[in-house]
Structure 1
Amino acid sequence: MNMLGLILTLLFGLIFLHGEVVEVEAWKKKSPSDITDLLSIQERLRELLPNAKRALVSIEAGDGAGSGVIVSKEGLVLTAAHVIGKTGKKMQVRLPNGKRASAISLGGSEISDAAMLQILGDEEWPFVPIANKGDSKVGNWCFGLGHPGGFDKERGVVVRIGKIIAKKDETMQTDSRLLGGDSGGPLFDFDGQLIAIHSRVSQKPDQNFHVPIESFHANWNTFKDENLISYDSMQDGGFFGVACEETEAGLIVREVISGTAAEKAGLKLNDILLEVNDEPLDSREEFIIIISSLKPGDEAKILYQRKEARLSVKANLGVRPSLVEE
């Protein structure tokens, strides 16, 4: 093959390869281009729904009701903390076909509104896959399931589609509309993965709030061991004195409160918190929990990053003035 022929072959090969690369699924585009994209999104939702719906449960807790989703064949259910109320609480769950089963609440967190319960018995249950930390992004398509108004076998599972509008710390915001009874229900991405749990409803269609799956990842063993992280339990704990924000770079200090242990230890704005007492920090919630588990006067070793340098400091925690951010 002469040089001209080789160049033309490579050129046509690149054009063909380029044509394959730029073809993006409709639900991965920033917005649908035409009716074909909308139909593709609809068809994708139809593909994902059967598996997602099988794992949805309606939770009947005696003094209230909500939704949840099964995430293991052993019957582990993720839901909202305000649905279970407390640990060790007996309740009933119902699957979409109306089948009932007994369950008991495990642990959770009032900070993020995340919680777990366990279906009792040796039966294997349908379940859904869980997304990894960071899989969900602002702008992604999503769909939510739930039982608004309570379980209704004739009506069936209610499905709403939308997009992620915002994601911050322990909260995700979407325009996938929520109603009373949806609390604790699942929010999925268009790979069929569980990305969040419904938390707070609003009258405004774009103000629907969910617990990101990251809150469960950060506290998985704590919740399974039947620990409930409550505001009351934190009130007697230690106080460091910083307000933090979760970012891709890490847990960034946004405010250092005057007169607190953090100020005395020399923490500054934009420092990145890495560890407390040799425990790595994966989330703002985890930082609050660790600090609150200590007592006023206890010494905490803080590892943090300032620009390119990693620094360590020991600080004696103060008394928590009120229920404020760390």
Structure 2
Amino acid sequence: RKALVSIESNGGAGSGIIVSEDGLVLTAAHVIGSSGKTMSVRLPNGKRLPAISLGGSEISDGGMLKITKSGSWPFVEMAPRGSASIGDWCFGLGHPGGFDKERGIVIRIGRIIAKKEETMRTDSRLLGGDSGGPLFDFDGRVIGIHSRISKEPDENFHVPIESFRANWDFFKDGKLFTMEQLSKGGFLGVACEEREEGIFVTEALDRTPAKKAGLKSDDLIVSIDGERIETTEELIILIGSKKPGMEIKVEYRRENKSLSSKIKLGERPKRSR
């Protein structure tokens, strides 16, 4: 509980959790809003600390900030990849309605209802102000961060800890990936599925760079420009951060063969109204 913080910025409030001794805080991207912003966090004892927003992703809604005051801060352990599964019990912490020292931290228990690589759903009831707060397994490890809050008890969404681990350096470096960037970024043209072995192509869309390069269903994408790809969110961010017309090197496996292709990215198709 000592590692839970209330986040305050421009009159808004959210929650977060400290995950390193030097003060890295995981929260929701919509709580930080933008990178490089001066913020304030409050510890459970009410003490305010200065902080700065780092990076995040509007795709998953994961965000990160850093306490700027030097010190050794209480922190919690993050669960390893793949440790949380559908049906597992969990509990969430947060500051619903904002920080209230007299009330203290609110705890809600629930179960994981659904889980994908970039989002997780539970029936742990949440309220406004809980956004950005932590979701724990019963071993006390962080397995997710509260994102979208619904009035329905079983429709609360969280950012899986796997998303933070996959984008750790990107977030820590203060990079914020937005949906606007995605719309202007490069386009490969594959539908993918995340399996235990990695990211598999389920379809190379017609008349796209991926199709022209010969990518096929069940190809396992290993890396792009030498950067290993382990989640679909990583793939989306990496492709979206490049400009149309840029050439990338895609390394992939087909059955037991290691292959590579140089592919020139296209423009993302415009949505029809």
TM-score by length of 1: 0.80
Does 2:216 match 1:268?
Answer: yes
Instruction: State which of 298, 310, 315 in structure 1 corresponds to 2:246.
Output: 298
In structure 1, what is the equivalent of residue 72 of structure 2?
A: 124
Give the counterpart letter for 1:65 in structure 2.
A
CA distance in 1, matches of 2:134, 2:257: 41
In structure 1, what is the equivalent of residue 236 of structure 2?
A: 288
Instruction: State which of 101, 109, 112 in structure 2 corresponds to 1:153.
Output: 101
| TM-superposed deviation, 1:306 | 2.3
CA distance in 1, matches of 2:256, 2:155: 38
Give the counterpart letter for 1:167 in structure 2.
K
Offset from partner CA, 1:110-132 (integer Å, 9 cap, x none): 11111111112112211101111
In structure 1, what is the equivalent of residue 193 of structure 2?
A: 245
Does 2:13 match 1:62?
Answer: no
CA distance in 1, matches of 2:3, 2:22: 12
In structure 1, what is the equivalent of residue 266 of structure 2?
A: 318
Does 2:138 match 1:179?
Answer: no
* Cα gap change, 1:312 to 1:124, in 2 (>3 Å): same
Is the 2:117–2:162 contact (alpha carbons within 8 Å) kept by the matching residues of 1? no
Higher relative contact order (CA 8 A, sep 6+): 2
In structure 2, what is the equivalent of residue 234 of structure 1?
A: 182
| TM-superposed deviation, 1:301 | 1.5
Is the 1:273–1:302 contact (alpha carbons within 8 Å) kept by the matching residues of 2? yes
| TM-superposed deviation, 1:147 | 0.8
CA distance in 2, matches of 1:255, 1:271: 9
CA distance in 2, matches of 1:226, 1:298: 24
Is the 2:78–2:143 contact (alpha carbons within 8 Å) kept by the matching residues of 1? yes
Rg larger in structure: 1
| TM-superposed deviation, 1:267 | 1.7
The structure carrying a bigger strand percent of its residues is 2
CA distance in 2, matches of 1:200, 1:270: 32
CA distance in 2, matches of 1:60, 1:138: 33
Offset from partner CA, 1:168-197 (integer Å, 9 cap, x none): 020011111111111000001111111110
Gaps (5+ residues) in structure 1? Answer: 1-52
Classify the secondary structure of the residue corresponding to 1:86: coil
In structure 2, what is the equivalent of residue 13 of structure 1?
A: none
Give the counterpart letter for 1:267 in structure 2.
L
Offset from partner CA, 1:179-216 (integer Å, 9 cap, x none): 11110000011111111100001121111110011111
Alignment of 1:83-122 (within 5 A): 83-122=31-70
| TM-superposed deviation, 1:234 | 2.6
Percentage of matched positions with identical amino acids: 63
CA distance in 2, matches of 1:170, 1:89: 25
RMSD of equivalent CA atoms: 1.5
CA distance in 1, matches of 2:219, 2:209: 15
Is the 2:86–2:115 contact (alpha carbons within 8 Å) kept by the matching residues of 1? yes
In structure 2, what is the equivalent of residue 223 of structure 1?
A: 171
In structure 2, what is the equivalent of residue 191 of structure 1?
A: 139
CA distance in 2, matches of 1:202, 1:308: 45
Give the counterpart letter for 1:304 in structure 2.
Y
Of 184-193 and 147-156, more deviation after overlay is shown by 147-156
CA distance in 1, matches of 2:75, 2:137: 15
Classify the secondary structure of the residue corresponding to 1:253: strand
Does 2:121 match 1:165?
Answer: no
Give the counterpart letter for 1:58 in structure 2.
S
* Cα gap change, 1:322 to 1:63, in 2 (>3 Å): farther
Instruction: State which of 146, 154, 157 in structure 2 corresponds to 1:209.
Output: 157
Offset from partner CA, 1:273-320 (integer Å, 9 cap, x none): 111112110111111122122222222211222233332222111111
| TM-superposed deviation, 1:61 | 0.8
- Matched residue pairs, number? 272
Classify the secondary structure of the residue corresponding to 1:105: strand
Gaps (5+ residues) in structure 2? Answer: none
Runs (4+) of structure 1 exceeding 3 A deviation are none
TM-score by length of 2: 0.95
